[in-house]
Amino acid sequence: MNRRNTPTKEAVLNLLINAKKALSHDAIEKQLNIAINRATIYRVLNRFCEDEVVHKIVAEDGKQYFAICKKCENEEDVKPHFHFRCTSCDTIECLKIPVEYTAPNGYIVASTNCILTGTCKNCM
């Protein structure tokens, strides 16, 4: 869906593209170099999710992280895929490992949330 581009959307999108990892709302708010209302950031992130520009990862503690979809970086998007949460540096990154599963008869899977938790290669 085509939506009007604004400086706010552009700032959030550029931050997520350059981050190379999933960021929480708090991290996005702290790293933006323009003044943006907290609720506006949520609206922008939700619109990006609706438009499949960004995907949302919900960690086991309920905190939401947002990552740019690979197709936005001209790479193949692996759906669904695993995420890795580092308990040392508190980051989440998308892993290019597809999740393979079979749902029992009578079940329809609408979404997946696959998070591996541990220590990332940078913190080892």
Q: pLDDT of 91-116, one tens digit each?
A: 888 887 778 888 999 999 888 888 89
79: nearest Cα among 103, 46, 113, 45: 113
For residue 74, pLDDT beyond 70: no
Task: Say what the pLDDT of residue 95 is.
Answer: 84
Task: Say what the pLDDT of residue 48 is.
Answer: 93
53: nearest Cα among 109, 116, 113, 2: 2
99: nearest Cα among 112, 89, 110, 90: 112
pLDDT band for position 76 (50/70/90)?
A: low
pTM comes to 0.76
Task: Say what the pLDDT of residue 6 is.
Answer: 86
